[in-house]
Amino acid sequence: MATENPSNQGKTPAIGDFLLHYRVEQILGKGGMGAVYCAWDTKLQRGVAIKVLLPDSQENPGRRRRFLREARAASALNHPGIVSIYEINEQDGLDFLVMELVDGQTLSSLMRTRRQPLRTALDYMRQAAESIAKAHAAGIVHRDLKPANIMVTRDGQVKILDFGLAKYDPPAAGNAQSDATQTMSLTANGQVMGTPSYMSPEQAMGMALDARSDVFSFGVILYEIPAGAKPFEGTTNFAILHNITTVEPAALATLRSDLPAGVIALVAGMLKKPVEERTSDMGRVAAGLRELAASVPAEANPDEVPTQTIVMPGGVRPPRQWARLYRPVLALAAIGLAVWGGATILGTRPPPAPKPRPLAGIATIDMSLPARELYRAGTEAFKRHDFRQNIDVAIEAFKAAKAKEPTWTLPDAALAVAYARKNTNAPDPTWLRLAEQHAAEVLKKEPSLAAAHFASGVVHLSAGRLPEARKELERTIELDPSHANAHFRLARALDPKTDGDRARALRQRAVELAPEDWETHSEWGLFLSAQGEYAAAAAAFSKATSLAPDNSVTLRNLAASLQMTERYDEAAAAYQRSLEIAPAAATYSNLGTLLYFQGKYAEAAPAFERAVEINPNLFRNWGNLADAYRWLPGKEAERLEALDRAIALARTALAAKQQDTATRSNLASNLAKRGFPREAIAEVEQVDGNAATGQTAYNLALANELSGRRTQALQLLDTAVKKGHPLKEIQNDPYLSELRRDAEYHRWLGRLPASR
């Protein structure tokens, strides 16, 4: 039941207040006329974003019209690349929009914190162009396109934000004018409306606009990305607008001579000042970007790593100025891009990444080879799919082999597996559809071929269709008992609660069948880690690392296993080697945890800050940073801010996956640390502590201890230790200092086996 807030009439909501049935969780940012909050929809049990018109704007008819225009424009569109508006409503004199909560970063923030390969950047902009083209087809001109209004989700999906300045003239409405279709006034109280640096010449001069104005703005973004500077600069808004209308920008080719000619030509066509000479529509821009992305060779991206990884326990969070970088719904961050290099990393304290090591596992293939050699070369490249660009190289080789020998079916099977891997790394209907097409084709032609059933099983596994995956992988092993990859993938498709013993046996058999395959050893290590068998896991990861020494993820997992067995010096060295290859958020987080549990809070905090800078979308990173700040002087405000972010992100994750006990236990411990014991215990009681993993039981123990339930905390600590959680962390965790003074704690220690 929603709580009434009669005393808040005319005021912005506070954390914990309700707007109808939406509970306000955290403020994400404020602009000139509105504030954006992360909130929890108590009816539909999901995270949402709420944009509230500020009290000063409530009495301004123009601002209220703009607010309504945003709702009308965005709600008129149904496209995965445009943020959805759920409803517009009013309470206690406040107008507010409820919209989709996007799990991602603004393009401006993303490009400041992570260098992107050219192909990836072009694909982001292609997606954005397709979304804008959809808006144009519906009669909507955005009129405020800029990097801060383009979001990239964790899965690489691009979404367009903020239609508050949109010109909405649906085709069915003809030329009728209304509040929603009036041309935007250039000034309001002497201030430029919109963002001057990204305006088209006709917008800068206050002329009537059409879709070509958005094309120009989009061209400004495409120019700025490789150049590292906007094409039209100035010390005042007037100077910027003057330059837009009268000055030609510096030739992009002179700033970045290494850029493909196609990129330079596309940008030049979009930045033509005369409307009639400019690229005519965003559909053509999207098509051009699609062709350019397809023609650009794959390149290394050390930030992209496989998703299977061990994330260490711990707790700490980032400074306030970093928290402002993350804008899940409405982009209010400053602009700063460097897709192809030259980015300044925000923040000053995080440790610099070690100098990257050469990556020996990156493949190149001569596409003029005969079909059979192309297939073999693609297969070798795909063995190191931990480098995602190798997947693309392998796909091109398999496609070329198929083109040269159309009746040969093995390239189809290989293509199905490769596209399934792309879908697993970054779920996308396109990859899954291609994987399914190739798998169906080879299975139809070769129903007795083990590779056909393996491809089908892998595709089902990537799509989450576990019964179908089990059937196909079982058939693969029947046809080819020596198929190592089928063994460990079948293990993944089994229910660990009912088929745990078989899952173990299948993974062991995979190692026996392919002792020189890094992936079988890594898979075995992941399984052992999940069972709390960290010493054995360390041995498995050590073998995987010896076979693929430039695999940053196996190095990180090796370090994590060493850390869990208290081999701290070896763990620190492995983390450093991993960071030399790829400065990933998870590695910095794990390194911070290693330092944290040694009581080195001042050293742990910068590592956690770096983790949050690289990936601000993961609740564990924010929770870890909050923990580190807890024990540093002068960091209380930042600690609370990070905890709020961790709690909001965990709730959003749980909305999509209610049975995720690891996330729920983490949420419980952070709620307790935030001073919300009642809410913490409500989460604790939804998790079966006896069935929990070591880390989950440890989080539940923290939640109970900080909520005043010591008996339950001790019981859960016992479970955590029995399931492999390091006793050393319990003995060193500052949150448990009071518990360690309790006589019952020492009695419990006395009952533990001496080996602990």
Tell me the per-residue pLDDT of 696-711, one tens digit each, with 9 for 90 and over.
999 999 999 999 999 9
Residue count (the chain): 756
- CB under 8 Å to 101, separation ≥6 — which residues? 38, 46, 47, 48, 49, 328, 329, 652
d(CA 341, CA 344): 9
- The residue written with tokens 């080996």 in the block is 755
For the stretch 555-591, pLDDT in tens is 999 999 999 888 989 999 999 999 988 888 899 999 9
For the chain, how many helices (H) and strands (E)? 33, 13
Task: Indicate which residues carry an active-site annotation.
Answer: 144
Higher pLDDT: 314 or 657? It is 657
pLDDT tier for residue 119 given thresholds of 50, 70 and 90? confident
**What pLDDT score was predicted for residue 178?**
33
Higher pLDDT: 310 or 141? It is 141
- The residue written with tokens 């040269």 in the block is 404
Strands ordered across the beta sheet of 150-153: 104-106, 150-153, 158-160
Burial class (CB in 10 A: 0-12, 13-18, 19+), 522: buried
**The pLDDT of residue 596 is above 60:** yes
Q: Is the CB of residue 541 less than 8 Å from the CB of residue 561?
A: yes
Structure tokens at 641: 């801010």
**What pLDDT score was predicted for residue 755?**
54
d(CA 99, CA 624): 29
Residue type, 414: A
Q: Which helix (H) or strand (E) covers residue 327, if one does?
A: none
SS3 of residue 258 by DSSP: coil
| Total Cβ atoms within 10 A of residue 440 | 16
Instruction: Decide the pairing of beta strands 150-153 and 158-160.
Output: antiparallel
Mean pLDDT of the chain: 80
| Percent with pLDDT over 90 in the chain | 44
pLDDT tier for residue 258 given thresholds of 50, 70 and 90? confident
**The pLDDT of residue 309 is above 50:** no
Q: Is the CB of residue 243 less than 8 Å from the CB of residue 232?
A: yes
135-149, 185-199, 342-356: the lowest-pLDDT one:
342-356
Q: Which helix (H) or strand (E) covers residue 85, if one does?
A: strand 85-91
d(CA 304, CA 312): 19
197-201, 488-492, 624-628, 691-695: the lowest-pLDDT one:
691-695
pLDDT tier for residue 138 given thresholds of 50, 70 and 90? confident
**What pLDDT score was predicted for residue 318?**
31
Q: Which of 312, 756, 275, 243 is nearest to 563 (CA)?
A: 312
| Total Cβ atoms within 10 A of residue 187 | 10
Q: Is the CB of residue 433 less than 8 Å from the CB of residue 453?
A: no
**What pLDDT score was predicted for residue 530?**
85
Averaged pLDDT for residues 407-429:
90
Instruction: Decide the pairing of beta strands 34-41 and 22-30.
Output: antiparallel
HSE value, Cβ hemisphere, 13 Å, CA-based, for 166: 28
Q: pTM for this one?
A: 0.55
**What pLDDT score was predicted for residue 723?**
87
Beta bridge partners of 87: 98
